[in-house]
Amino acid sequence: MDRRLFVLRHAKSSWNHSGLADHDRPLSGRGQKALPRLRRALEERAPSIEVVLCSSAVRTVATLDGVRTALPDHVQVTIDDQLYGAGGQTWFERCQQVGDHVEGLLVIGHNPGLERLIHDLAPTGEPAARELLVRGFPTGALAELVIPGPWSALAYDSCYLAAMQIPRELA
The H-assigned helical ranges of 2-124 are 29-43, 58-67, 88-96, 113-121
User: What are 9-56's pLDDT values in tens digits?
Assistant: 999 999 876 778 889 999 999 999 999 999 999 998 878 899 999 999
Q: Tell me how many degrees the CA angle 64-66-70 measures, rounded to the nearest 5.
A: 85
Q: What is the pLDDT of residue 171?
A: 56
Domain ranges of the chain: 3-169
pTM above 0.75, yes or no: yes
Domain 3-169 has CATH 3.30.565.10: no
What would the pLDDT profile of 45-85 be if each residue is shown by its tens digit? 878 899 999 999 999 999 999 999 999 999 999 999 999 99
